[in-house]
Each structure stands twice: as structure tokens, then as C-alpha cells.
Amino acid sequence: MAEVWYTDEHEWIRVEGDVGTVGITEYAQEQLGDVVFVELPDKGRKVEKGKDMAVVESVKAASEVYAPVSGEIVDTNAALLDDPATVNADAAGKGWFCKIRLADKSQLDGLMDEAAYKKFIEGLS
């Protein structure tokens, strides 16, 4: 079963083997409002943990999407380019942004599990 980890910047990563699927959390998409545009990273691009790798724009604001781990982009969700509202409809599923081949799985140790993330967002209200 895939493990899901969360960042304090409201990204999630679902890891299977050495590849992680990345998106923004339900909380993040609720804060953004209606998503109208996404910019995805190019396949083959090397990303660094904590650095920007994508952009999501809503009717309210534009926001960077940060890499939860370092690695190489091996796939992107091109369907979001035609239908960015998928992020609002299914942020934790069909609204994923990209897949990263992890350079160092130990970087997951600095991320939150679901229980810790829920506690984190409760503290934001």
C-alpha cells in the first residue's frame, strides 16, 4: 500500500517504490478557491526539496507548488492543462500534478503523516 506524506506548504506525496505522486491538499485547494490554471514541470526536470516546481492559479491568487522531495520528474498530469478545476474536484486523486523519482527516500522522514497534517491544519484555524 502506498504511503502518503504531507508538507507544511500543503503538498501531498503518495509514494510507491521509488516514485512519488505529488499534488496539493484539500485544505490548499479550499484556500485557493476555483483553480483556473496550472503550470506543470517538464518531464526530466530535476527538482529540489522545498523549491518551487509548479504553479497553481485560482480566481483569488497564484501559488507556487513546492517539491516535497528532491528527484526527477518522470510524469505529469497533462489532463490538468485542459481541466484545471480537477484540482478542486479531486485534489487527492485525479488532481495530482506530477510524479517524482525520489533521489533520497530519507527525505520523507521530515514530512508529516496524515494524523500530524490534520493536527497541523487544525492549528491554522
pLDDT tens profile 21-61: 999 999 999 999 999 999 999 999 999 999 999 999 999 99
Q: 109 vs 4, 45, 68, 82, 117, CA distance in Å? A: 12, 23, 11, 35, 14
Report residue 73 as a C-alpha cell.
520528474
Q: How far apart are the first and last CA of the chain?
A: 31
pLDDT at residue 1, as a whole number: 56
pLDDT tens digits, residue range 9-23? Answer: 999 999 999 999 999
Q: What is the DSSP string of 80-95?
A: HHH-TTHHHH-TTTTT
Average pLDDT over residues 78-95: 97
Structural domains of the chain, ranges and CATH numbers in brackets: 3-122 (2.40.50.100)
